[in-house]
C-alpha cells in the first residue's frame, strides 16, 4: 500500500472494521480503524503492511466473482483445484484464499471485521478447512484489506499467514443496477451476472440507513475436451508420456498380487487405445470432465444502521448465498473377477485355497453401463451480525454478536453397493466389457449416497479504546477487547460411504464435534518520538487443551515526510481444526508412475520403446485425522520501507519471513512409500499419508508496490502501477533431525507473481491494461535436490484490456478482454502424471479458459 494513502483511500477507510464510522461531532476527526490494529488512527499507514483493493480496483479487474478477483492480486497464492476439478467430493466448487506459501486454514478471513464459518465439507487432512470465498457477492464488496504480517495478537491465533477482511458497502443511498455478460473466444465458459444495490436513509439527517444488495451469477462449464492442452491425457506428443487410465472398458488383465497390468487386454482393444506395454488405455479427458466448473449462485446482503444518538449507533447485517452445482465423473473403475477367455490369460488365473486354478482372472475395467457418476451439490451460507458502537466520555467502544452457518449437501448417483457389487462381479453376473448386462440387475446394485455438512460459528466480542496520556512524541492510545467463540462441525456421509462400501467413491469419515475458545487482548499505539511510532499488542487465547499468549511489536520511523521505515514481529499459534482431531480415515485413488517408487512397491519397471522407464500402479491413498496433533506455532518478521516523491510517485518494499514449528501436514506419497507406510491388499496397494506435526517450516519473500501518476499527458491522466510478490524460500523439515527440503520454485509454487497496469482517463473515457506474469517452476513436487532430468515449466503471461465510458447521465459502460493474446498454460508433466492433481497438463495456478471477452452496463440514480 502506498504512503500516504490518497484522499480517496482514506475516505474509503472511514468505515470501522465492518461498519461505517459515524461522522460524529464530538469524536476525533479523521481517525479510522484499519485491519491490523484495533486503535483508530489519523494516519492509515501504520507499522503493519496492509494492501487495500478498493471498489475501483474491483471493477477494473473485470472479475465477475470473488475468486477470479483474488487471482489478479499477486500477493494471493493460487491453487485453484476447487474451481477446475469436478471430481473432488469435498472441494469441487469451492475457492479458498492462501497467503505467504502457507495453507488456506492459516489465513483468517473476516467479513466486516468478524469471523465467518469454514466450509462445511473439507478433507480429514484439514485441506479446505477455510471460508469459501465463492459465498460472497462481488457486487456487495466495497473493498478488501489484506494484512500481510500476521494478525494473531489482534484477531486470533489462527491468523498465521495474515488476515483478509472483506468489507461490504454501508450507508449507500440510491439504486445501482449492473448487468454483465462474458464468454470465451471458443464460445464456452459463458458468464452472466446481474446485480442490484438499493439504499435509502441518510444516517446523519434521517438517523438511519438501509442497504439491500442482490447478486445473481451463472457460468457455463468449460470441458477438457474443448482445449488443445487438456483434450487428452496422452501427452506423448509433447514428451510427457501416456497418462491414460488402465481401467479400460475393454479390460486389462492384472497381476493378482500387485494389481499391475500384465500387458494382456481382456477383450480386443481398439488400436488407438492400445498403449505402451500392450495395455488398453482409457482417455478420461475426452469427455465429461471439466477444466472450469459451471456455477449457479444467488447472494444477498442486508445492512441496517440506526443512529440512537449523535454518538451511538446500532447496526445489523445479514449475508446470504446459495449455489447449485452439477459435477460429473466417468463410470466406475474397479477390479473385476471374470472368466478366462484366452489361454494367454492362463498364467494369471486366480488360485483358490488349495492352489488349484479357478479359470478366472482379475482385470482392471470400467463399467460403462453404470453411467457417469454425478454429484449435485447445494451450498448455503448465512451470516448475521448485530451490535452497537459509539463514542462516550472520550472512549471508542463497540459490542457485537455474530452467527454464521455454512451448509453443503452432496447428492450422488450411479454408484454401487460394494457388498452387492462384489458378489455380482465375483460370480460373473456382471461383465464390465459389455453393455448388455441385465439392466434390472445393474440398477439393483446402485446406491445414491448423500453427504451433508454443517459448520457453525458464533462469536461475542467487545472493544474499548481511547487516549491514555500525552507523551513527548504525541498521544499514547490503547484498545482492549475480548471475544468468546463457539464453533461446531457436523459432516455426515451416508453409512455405506463411511464404511468404505460405495464402489466408485472414497471412504469418507463422519464428524460431529464442537469446541469453544475465548480470548482477551490489548494494544498500545506508542508515540516514542515525533517521527517514531510503536505498536505493542498481546493476545491470550484459551482452548480446552491449549493456551497461548501471542505478542506483537511494530515500529514505524519517519525521518522525513517522503520516507518511512517499518518493522514488526508477531508470534502465533494455530490449533488443529476439528476434523484433523476428530475425523477418521479417508481413502482416494491415485496413480504412481515414478520408476523409483514402483521398485519400492515391488512392481516391475519396463521400457516404453523410446528408452524411457515406465511403470503404472493404481494405488489408494489413505488419509486420516490424528487426535494427538499439537498446535502449530509460528513467528512472523517484517521489514519495510515506504517512499513518496511528491504527488506523482510512491512505493513500498516489504521483506517478510514466517517460521513455524509443529506444522500440521500430510506426508507426500513419495515420502510415505520411502518410509514404508504402504501395504498390499489383494490387487490394491494402499499408501498411508496420515497427518503429523512436521517439525519446521519457513517461508520468506518480498512485496513491492510502486505507483506513478502523470496527469495531463497526451494520453490523458495516466496512472501506472506495479505489484510484485517474490518468494525467496519455502522449505520444510519432516522431522527434528532431518535436513531442510526446499520447495520454492517447484510444482505449483512459482517464485513470483507480478502485475503491471496502466490506466488512462480522458473525460468520460477510461482505458485500463494489465500485464500479469506468473513465474516458472521446476516440474516436480519432490523438492530440492531435484530428481535427475527434472524439466522446467516456463513463466506464464496474460494481457488484460478494458475500456469504460461514463458520459451518459447515470450510465457506465465497460467492455474488456482478459488474456487478449490467448496464452495457454504451460505444460506440467507432474500434473499430468498424478491424479493427486487435476491431470489436465498444467498446474492449478492457471486457467485453461483462454481469451475471454465481457461487457458490463451499470445504471445508478
Tell me: the pLDDT tens digits for 572-612?
888 888 888 887 666 777 888 888 899 999 888 888 777 78
Distance CA(817)–CA(828), nearest Å, equals: 26
Count of other CB atoms within 10 angstroms of residue 472 = 8
Strands 852-860 and 792-793: unpaired
Cell of 176: 445501482
Distance CA(369)–CA(435), nearest Å, equals: 5
Q: Which of 622, 628, 691 is nearest to 663 (CA)?
A: 691
Beta bridge partners of 87: none
pLDDT for res 86: 63
DSSP, collapsed to helix, strand or coil, labels residue 60 as helix
Cell of 473: 512524541
For the beta sheet containing 261-265, the strands, ordered from the edge strand earlier in sequence to the opposite edge, are 261-265, 252-254, 360-366, 333-339
Q: Does residue 57 belong to any structural domain of this protein?
A: yes
Distance CA(16)–CA(313), nearest Å, equals: 12
Q: Does residue 45 belong to any structural domain of this protein?
A: yes
Distance CA(458)–CA(687), nearest Å, equals: 38
Cell of 107: 489465513
Distance CA(128)–CA(105), nearest Å, equals: 7
Distance CA(551)–CA(634), nearest Å, equals: 11
pLDDT for res 375: 92
Let me know: does 132 contact 94? Beta carbons within 8 Å.
Answer: yes
Q: Does residue 318 belong to any structural domain of this protein?
A: yes
Distance CA(38)–CA(113), nearest Å, equals: 10
What is the DSSP secondary-structure string of 71-135? HT-TTEE---HHHH-S--TTTTT----EETT--GGGEEEEETTEE-PPPS---TTSTT-S--GGG
Distance CA(538)–CA(524), nearest Å, equals: 9
CA separation (Å) from 535 to 159, 290, 556? 18, 49, 8
> How far from the centroid of its chain's Cα atoms is residue 734's Cα?
24
Let me know: does 374 contact 413? Beta carbons within 8 Å.
Answer: yes
Let me know: does 294 contact 347? Beta carbons within 8 Å.
Answer: no
Distance CA(308)–CA(301), nearest Å, equals: 23
* pTM listed for this prediction: 0.85
Distance CA(63)–CA(185), nearest Å, equals: 17
Cis previous bond, 785, omega within 30:
yes
How many domains would you assign to the chain? 1
As to burial, measured by CB atoms within 10 angstroms (0-12 exposed, 13-18 middle, 19+ buried), residue 808 is exposed
Q: Which of 799, 793, 809, 808 is nearest to 842 (CA)?
A: 793
Q: Does residue 346 belong to any structural domain of this protein?
A: no
Q: Does residue 704 belong to any structural domain of this protein?
A: yes
Let me know: does 536 contact 478? Beta carbons within 8 Å.
Answer: no
CA separation (Å) from 602 to 265, 347, 499, 561? 22, 19, 29, 69
Distance CA(272)–CA(236), nearest Å, equals: 13
Q: What are phi and psi of 675, to 5 degrees?
A: -90, 0
Low-confidence ranges of the chain (pLDDT < 50): 1-30
Distance CA(66)–CA(133), nearest Å, equals: 6
Let me know: does 796 contact 844? Beta carbons within 8 Å.
Answer: no
Let me know: does 105 contact 97? Beta carbons within 8 Å.
Answer: no
Angle, vertex CA 838, rays to CA 834 and CA 844, nearest 5 = 115
Q: Does residue 351 belong to any structural domain of this protein?
A: no
Dihedral sign computed on CA atoms, order 31, 34, 38, 44: negative
Q: State the residue range of the domain holding 416.
A: 7-245+283-332+367-860
Q: Which positions ≥6 away from 391 have C-beta within 8 Å?
A: 24, 26, 27, 311, 312, 397
Distance CA(58)–CA(7), nearest Å, equals: 18
Locus of grid cell 447515470: 810
> How far from the centroid of its chain's Cα atoms is residue 253's Cα?
40
Q: Which H or E element spans position 463?
A: strand 450-471
Count of other CB atoms within 10 angstroms of residue 335 = 19
Locus of grid cell 457453525: 456
CA separation (Å) from 132 to 115, 136, 204, 576? 13, 8, 35, 19
pLDDT for res 157: 67
Cell of 157: 491465533
> How far from the centroid of its chain's Cα atoms is residue 382's Cα?
20
Q: Which of 442, 418, 431, 437 is nearest to 251 (CA)?
A: 431
CATH assignment at residue 465: 2.40.170.20
Q: Which of 832, 850, 833 is nearest to 841 (CA)?
A: 832
As to burial, measured by CB atoms within 10 angstroms (0-12 exposed, 13-18 middle, 19+ buried), residue 606 is middle
> How far from the centroid of its chain's Cα atoms is residue 173's Cα?
34
Q: Which positions ≥6 away from 149 have C-beta within 8 Å?
A: 36, 48, 49, 162, 554, 568, 570, 636, 638, 656
Q: How many residues does the chain have?
A: 861
Q: Which positions ≥6 away from 502 have C-beta within 8 Å?
A: 415, 416, 417, 418, 447, 449, 496
Q: Does residue 94 belong to any structural domain of this protein?
A: yes
pLDDT for res 88: 62
Burial annotation 720-732 (CB, 10 A radius, 16+ → b, else e): ebbbbbbbebbbb
Count of other CB atoms within 10 angstroms of residue 361 = 27
CA separation (Å) from 29 to 12, 21, 447, 530? 15, 11, 65, 20
Cell of 792: 522446467
Distance CA(351)–CA(340), nearest Å, equals: 13
Cis previous bond, 229, omega within 30:
no
CA separation (Å) from 823 to 63, 797, 846, 849? 18, 7, 11, 10
DSSP for residue 526: E
CA separation (Å) from 755 to 68, 74, 472? 15, 7, 43
Q: Does residue 267 belong to any structural domain of this protein?
A: no
Distance CA(403)–CA(383), nearest Å, equals: 6
Q: Please give the radius of gyration of the chain, using alpha carbons only, rounded to the nearest integer.
A: 28
As to burial, measured by CB atoms within 10 angstroms (0-12 exposed, 13-18 middle, 19+ buried), residue 70 is buried
Amino acid at each position: 500500500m502506498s504512503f500516504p494513502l490518497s484522499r480517496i483511500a482514506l475516505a474509503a477507510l472511514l468505515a470501522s472494521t465492518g461498519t461505517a464510522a459515524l461522522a460524529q461531532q464530538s469524536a476525533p476527526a479523521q481517525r479510522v480503524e484499519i485491519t491490523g490494529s484495533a486503535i483508530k488512527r489519523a494516519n492509515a499507514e501504520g507499522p503493519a503492511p496492509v494492501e487495500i483493493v478498493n471498489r475501483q480496483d474491483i471493477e477494473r479487474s473485470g472479475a465477475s466473482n470473488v475468486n477470479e478477483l483474488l487471482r489478479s492480486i499477486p500477493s494471493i497464492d493460487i491453487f485453484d483445484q476447487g474451481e477446475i476439478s469436478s471430481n473432488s467430493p469435498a472441494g469441487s466448487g469451492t475457492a479458498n484464499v492462501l497467503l505467504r506459501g502457507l495453507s488456506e486454514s492459516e489465513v483468517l478471513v473476516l467479513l466486516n471485521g468478524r469471523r465467518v464459518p469454514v466450509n462445511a465439507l473439507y478433507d480429514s487432512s484439514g485441506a479446505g478447512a477455510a471460508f469459501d470465498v465463492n459465498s460472497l457477492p462481488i457486487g456487495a464488496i466495497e473493498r478488501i484489506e489484506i494484512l500481510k504480517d500476521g494478525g494473531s495478537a489482534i484477531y486470533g491465533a489462527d491468523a498465521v499467514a495474515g488476515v483478509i477482511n472483506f468489507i461490504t458497502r454501508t450507508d449507500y443511498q440510491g439504486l445501482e443496477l449492473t448487468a454483465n455478460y462474458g464468454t470465451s473466444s471458443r464460445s464456452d465458459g459463458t458468464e452472466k451476472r446481474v446485480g442490484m444495490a438499493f439504499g435509502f436513509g441518510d444516517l446523519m439527517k434521517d438517523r438511519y440507513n438501509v442497504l439491500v444488495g442482490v447478486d445473481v451469477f451463472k457460468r457455463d462449464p468449460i470441458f477438457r475436451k474443448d482445449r488443445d492442452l487438456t483434450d487428452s491425457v496422452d501427452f506423448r506428443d509433447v514428451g510427457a508420456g501416456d497418462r491414460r487410465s488402465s481401467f479400460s472398458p475393454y479390460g486389462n488383465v492384472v497381476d493378482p498380487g500387485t494389481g499391475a497390468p500384465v500387458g494382456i487386454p481382456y477383450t480386443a482393444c481398439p488400436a488407438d487405445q492400445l498403449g505402451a506395454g500392450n495395455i488398453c488405455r482409457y482417455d478420461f479427458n475426452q469427455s465429461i470432465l471439466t477444466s472450469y466448473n459451471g456455477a449457479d449462485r444467488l447472494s444477498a446482503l442486508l445492512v441496517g444502521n440506526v443512529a440512537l444518538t449523535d454518538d451511538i449507533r446500532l447496526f445489523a447485517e445479514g449475508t446470504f448465498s446459495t449455489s447449485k452445482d452439477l459435477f460429473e465423473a466417468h463410470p466406475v473403475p474397479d477390479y473385476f473377477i471374470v472368466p478366462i477367455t484366452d489361454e494367454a490369460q492362463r498364467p494369471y488365473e486366480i488360485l483358490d485355497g488349495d492352489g488349484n486354478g479357478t479359470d478366472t482372472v482379475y482385470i482392471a475395467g470400467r463399467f460403462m453401463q453404470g453411467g457417469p457418476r454425478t454429484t449435485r451439490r447445494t451450498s448455503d451460507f448465512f451470516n448475521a451480525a448485530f451490535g452497537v458502537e459509539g463514542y462516550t466520555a472520550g472512549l471508542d467502544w463497540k459490542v457485537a454478536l455474530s452467527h454464521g452457518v455454512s451448509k453443503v449437501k452432496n447428492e450422488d448417483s450411479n454408484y454401487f453397493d460394494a457388498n452387492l457389487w462384489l458378489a455380482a462381479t465375483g460370480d460373473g453376473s456382471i461383465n464390465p466389457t459389455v453393455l448388455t448386462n441385465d439392466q434390472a440387475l445393474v440398477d439393483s446394485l446402485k446406491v445414491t449416497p448423500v453427504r451433508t455438512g454443517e459448520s457453525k460459528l458464533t462469536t461475542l466480542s467487545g472493544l474499548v479504546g481511547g487516549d491514555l496520556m500525552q507523551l513527548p512524541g504525541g498521544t499514547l492510545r490503547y484498545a482492549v477487547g475480548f471475544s468468546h467463540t463457539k464453533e461446531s462441525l457436523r459432516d455426515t456421509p451416508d453409512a455405506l460411504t463411511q464404511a468404505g462400501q460405495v464402489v466408485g467413491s472414497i471412504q469418507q469419515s463422519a464428524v460431529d464435534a464442537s469446541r469453544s475458545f475465548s480470548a482477551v487482548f490489548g494494544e498500545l499505539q506508542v508515540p516514542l518520538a515525533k517521527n517514531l511510532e510503536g505498536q505493542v499488542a498481546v493476545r491470550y487465547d484459551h482452548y480446552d487443551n491449549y493456551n497461548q499468549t501471542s505478542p506483537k511489536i511494530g515500529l514505524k520511523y519517519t525521518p522525513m515526510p517522503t520516507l518511512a521505515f517499518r518493522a514488526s514481529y508477531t508470534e502465533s499459534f494455530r490449533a488443529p481444526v476439528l476434523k484433523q482431531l476428530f475425523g477418521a480415515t479417508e481413502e482416494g485413488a491415485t496413480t504412481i508412475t515414478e520408476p523409483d517408487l514402483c521398485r519400492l512397491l515391488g512392481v516391475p519397471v519396463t521400457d516404453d520403446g523410446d528408452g524411457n522407464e515406465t511403470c503404472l500402479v493404481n494405488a489408494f491413498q489413505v488419509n486420516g485425522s490424528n487426535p494427538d496433533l499439537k498446535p502449530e506455532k509460528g513467528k512472523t518478521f517484517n521489514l519495510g520501507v515506504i517512499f513518496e516523491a511528491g504527488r506523482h510517485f510512491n512505493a513500498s518494499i516489504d521483506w517478510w519471513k514466517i517460521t513455524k514449528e509443529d506444522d500440521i501436514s500430510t506426508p507426500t506419497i513419495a515420502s510415505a512409500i520411502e518410509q514404508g507406510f504402504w501395504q498390499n491388499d489383494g490387487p490394491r496397494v494402499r499408501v498411508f499419508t496420515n497427518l503429523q506435526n512436521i517439525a519446521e517450516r519457513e517461508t520468506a519473500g518480498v512485496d513491492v508496490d510502486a505507483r506513478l501518476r502523470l496527469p495531463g499527458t497526451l494520453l490523458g491522466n495516466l496512472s501506472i502501477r506495479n505489484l510484485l510478490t517474490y518468494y525467496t524460500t519455502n522449505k520444510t523439515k519432516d522431522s527434528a533431525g532431518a535436513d531442510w527440503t526446499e520447495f520454492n520454485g517447484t510444482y505449483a509454487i512459482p517464485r513470483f507473481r507480478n502485475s503491471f497496469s496502466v490506466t488512462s482517463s480522458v473525460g468520460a473515457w477510461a482505458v485500463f491494461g494489465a500485464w500479469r506474469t506468473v513465474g516458472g517452476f521446476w516440474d516436480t513436487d519432490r523438492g530440492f535436490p531435484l530428481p535427475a532430468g527434472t524439466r522446467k515449466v516456463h513463466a506464464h503471461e496474460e494481457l488484460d484490456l478494458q475500456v469504460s465510458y461514463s458520459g451518459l447521465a447515470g450510465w457506465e459502460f465497460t467492455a474488456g478482454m482478459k488474456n487478449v493474446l490467448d496464452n495457454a498454460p504451460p505444460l506440467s508433466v507432474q500434473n499430468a502424471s498424478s491424479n493427486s492433481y487435476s491431470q489436465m497438463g498444467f498446474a492449478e495456478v492457471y486457467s485453461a479458459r483462454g481469451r475471454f471477452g465481457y461487457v458490463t452496463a451499470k445504471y445508478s440514480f
